[in-house]
């Protein structure tokens, strides 16, 4: 026997949940806070999702109020009445309602050094303080021994992703300043002062890491937040940025070591514009670039605090 009032309530509640997700996503898009959660290339999909959520929500609510039973039941031969217990239903709907409540009640925050401490710092696209995890679609380009944040020493291998090698991550178009990494490298080598731009942040750091001797002595300027790596010396810190491929769930921390003797030392999570001279240092037997700081300007957090994993062709 069909229990229409009971089933209508469940259909109505599902419609309300869909409208709730529509409103949450719409709020993030209108406020611009969506950029704190996903990469710009993913935002067009959000507009599509907003439309779909709104349409499906309206359809469900309309079905719940229809007096025509054929609008409520699909006549497929199965009983769609909810037969679960009250607590079972409450638990299932809570899985959808809790994210909505959290999304509306809690403010959006930007990733900071507390997350960086857990994920480790990458000094260039292929060097990380965390042990790399090999996947089925990646291959090893070099073997190194490294330490993770727990002090464990093991076989940490540099992984090259075939997607990067095949330039499938590249999002460059004909309006880009540089057509490939070689052009960017030549520009950096010929510049008296290297100003690291957000759109070329990862490529610039990777070029410097892989050609340290060619850049030693050059002046560099970059923006980032302060991260105090535990293994560094007291006067050293990392000027870091979070890089995002699709969303903050896959974010990675990239940065460059800096050394400064300052009367007012920088503090973790402080945003700074750092100017200095590139030199070399050694971390876990690896030779890495380091900025000998000549000037630090404390700045407000950028409107877009993240950089994005768009790799240039070679």
Q: How far apart are CA 154 and CA 147, in angstroms?
A: 7
Token readout for 78 is 């199965």
Q: How far apart are CA 292 and CA 147, in angstroms?
A: 25
* Spatial contact of 203 and 268, defined as CB atoms under 8 Å apart: no
- pLDDT tens column, 36-71: 888 888 899 999 999 999 999 999 998 888 777 666
- Out of 3.30.1360.120, 3.40.50.150, 2.40.50.140, 3.40.50.11540, the CATH code matching 114-128+175-308 is 2.40.50.140
pLDDT at residue 255 in the model: 92
Low-confidence stretches of the chain (pLDDT < 70) are: 1-5, 69-84, 124-179, 263, 310-314
pLDDT at residue 309 in the model: 77
pLDDT at residue 69 in the model: 63
pLDDT at residue 79 in the model: 58
Domain ranges of the chain: 4-105, 114-128+175-308
Q: Are strands 252-259 and 121-122 parallel, antiparallel or unpaired?
A: parallel
Q: What is the dihedral of CA 59, 63, 68, 72, to 10 degrees?
A: 110
Q: How far apart are CA 115 and CA 219, in angstroms?
A: 30
pLDDT at residue 84 in the model: 66
pLDDT at residue 63 in the model: 85
pLDDT at residue 56 in the model: 95
pLDDT at residue 78 in the model: 58
Q: What is the DSSP letter of 170?
A: -
* Spatial contact of 281 and 258, defined as CB atoms under 8 Å apart: no
pLDDT at residue 82 in the model: 62
Which helix (DSSP H) or strand (DSSP E) does residue 51 occupy? helix 43-65
Q: How far apart are CA 254 and CA 288, in angstroms?
A: 13
pLDDT at residue 125 in the model: 55
pLDDT at residue 180 in the model: 76
Q: How far apart are CA 36 and CA 247, in angstroms?
A: 9
Angle made by CA atoms 280, 250, 123, in degrees to the nearest 5: 5
- Residue 145's beta-bridge partner residues? 155
pLDDT at residue 299 in the model: 94
Three-class SS state of 273: strand
Q: How many CB atoms lie within 10 A of CB 148?
A: 14
Considering the entire predicted model, what is its pTM? Answer: 0.71
Burial 191-230 (b: 16+ CB within 10 A, else e): eeebebebebbbbbbbbbbeebeebeebbbbbbbbbbbbe
């Amino acid at each position: 026997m069909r229990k229409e009032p009971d089933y209508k309530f469940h259909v109505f509640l599902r419609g309300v949940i869909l409208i709730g997700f529509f409103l949450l996503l719409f709020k993030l898009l209108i406020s611009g806070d969506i950029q704190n959660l996903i990469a710009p290339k993913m935002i067009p999909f959000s507009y599509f999702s907003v439309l779909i959520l709104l349409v499906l929500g309206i359809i469900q609510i309309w079905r719940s109020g229809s007096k025509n039973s054929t609008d409520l039941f699909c006549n497929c031969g199965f009983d769609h009445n909810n037969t679960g217990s009250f607590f079972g239903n409450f638990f299932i709907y809570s899985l959808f309602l809790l994210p909505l409540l959290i999304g509306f009640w809690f403010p959006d925050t930007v990733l900071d050094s507390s997350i960086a401490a857990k994920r480790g710092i990458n000094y260039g696209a292929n060097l990380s303080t965390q042990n790399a995890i090999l996947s089925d679609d990646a291959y090893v380009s070099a073997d190194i021994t490294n330490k993770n944040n727990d002090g464990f020493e093991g076989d940490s291998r540099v992984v090259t992703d075939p997607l990067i090698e095949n330039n499938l991550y590249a999002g460059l178009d004909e309006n880009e300043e540089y057509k490939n990494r070689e052009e960017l490298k030549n520009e950096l080598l010929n510049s008296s002062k290297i100003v690291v731009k957000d759109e070329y942040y990862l490529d610039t750091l990777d070029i410097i890491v892989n050609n340290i001797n060619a850049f030693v002595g050059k002046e560099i300027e970059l923006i980032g937040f302060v991260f105090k790596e535990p293994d560094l010396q007291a006067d050293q810190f990392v000027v870091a940025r979070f890089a995002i491929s699709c969303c903050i769930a896959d974010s990675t921390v990239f940065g460059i070591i800096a050394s400064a003797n300052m009367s007012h030392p920088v503090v973790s999570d402080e945003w700074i514009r750092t100017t200095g001279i590139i030199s070399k240092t050694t971390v876990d037997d690896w030779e890495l670039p380091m900025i000998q700081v000549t000037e630090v300007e404390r700045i407000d957090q950028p409107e877009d605090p993240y950089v994005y994993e768009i790799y240039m062709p070679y």
